Amino acid sequence: MQSSQRIQFRLFFMECCGHLLCWVNPRFPSYCPQCGKSVYPQCKGWVTDRDDNAVLKINWKLEDLNQ
């Protein structure tokens, strides 16, 4: 089976440590996953690329769910 869902994709350049963060959550990150520093709300200005119409496609088999 295949499932697809529209997502909000954002690419952040985390100014705190230089980490590139791919983000698909509609909420902004509170902490940097690389260095742990609190980054909200300054990370709102760190978005380097954005796609509000990105699609996440997942292919899976029913037997994979039963394991």
- Domains of the chain: which residue ranges? 2-65
Q: Are 13 and 20 in contact (CB under 8 A)?
A: yes
- Measure the CA angle with vertex 18, ends 32 and 51; round to 5°: 75
Q: What confidence tens digit (pLDDT) does each residue in 8-53 have?
A: 999 999 999 999 999 999 899 999 999 999 999 999 999 999 999 9
Q: In 1-67, which residue ranges form alpha helices assigned H by DSSP? A: 62-65
Average pLDDT over residues 53-64: 83
Residue that wins the pLDDT comparison between 25 and 62? 25
Q: How far apart are CA 19 and CA 35, in angstroms?
A: 9
What pLDDT shows up at residue 18?
95
Residue 59 pLDDT > 80, yes or no? yes
Q: Is 29 helix (H, G, I), strand (E, B) or coil?
A: coil
